[in-house]
Amino acid sequence: MKWRTIALALTILSLLVVPLAFAQSDDIVVPVYKESNHHIRFDNGNVRVYEVQLKKGESTAFHEHGADNFAIHISTTAVAAQMLGGQSNVHSLKAGEVSFASTAKAPYTHRIGCASDVNFHVVDLEINSKSRLGQGGETPKRPDKNFAVVLENSRGRAYRMTLKAGETTEVFTRPANTAIFAISGGRTREVTEGKPPRFWDSEPGNFRWVDVPDRLTIRNESVTDLELVEIELF
């Protein structure tokens, strides 16, 4: 009975880690670009890319998002999320999952904390342009064999691309203003007719931006399966 009591106490204590972290600096709200855990990886004036990594029990400050954004989750973990003035809720996330947050009605303020032994890792694509960025919505959808549409709305279309070791996609069109995110990491070879092949060695969370259209194939040059997320902005 004594050991059961101790085990129960430890379980309760572990559940309190995130709420205790959240108890700090409740009255401070900062713009997302000033939040210390949001590291800017890319900014061309139209889009900005943030990378966030948190260990168990760590959390961001309350921060305000003033622009629509896609979140690309790099790790399979759990996150505690709290809107300003609301309750904290824990959500399970899978690597490769894509979500979208709209600011069409108003900016929103929240904070997030890692609620798992696995580090929370997300890359956030913020769309700072209110105007149309490209012709993605008019581009034919990619072959189903390797590309699965995981999210689509008025701001863009997100694909999850999976390739086995040595596998090559069918020929497809990648429009301008496409963001590419490495989920698993690995080496890819992109081939466009009449041009030398392009290689990309990536780690989970790495990012590329494409601002010219292309018609190409992608080959997985790794010895393990490869997973990427590509988002065509509209």
- Give residue-wise pLDDT tens across range 161-173: 999 999 999 999 9
Question: Which CATH number is 136-233 given?
Answer: 2.60.120.10
CATH topology agreement for domains 21-127 and 136-233? yes
What is the reported pTM? 0.88
d(CA 133, CA 103): 17
Q: Please report, for the chain, the start and end positions of each structural domain, with discontinuous segments joined by +.
A: 21-127, 136-233
CATH class given for the domain over 21-127: mainly beta
- Give residue-wise pLDDT tens across range 99-146: 999 999 999 999 999 999 999 999 999 999 988 887 667 788 999 999
Q: What is the pLDDT along the chain (234 residues), one digit of tens a residue?
A: 444 443 444 343 344 444 444 555 566 899 999 999 999 999 999 999 999 999 999 999 999 999 999 999 999 999 999 999 999 999 999 999 999 999 999 999 999 999 999 999 999 999 999 888 876 677 889 999 999 999 999 999 999 999 999 999 999 999 999 999 999 999 999 999 999 999 999 999 999 999 999 999 999 999 999 999 999 999
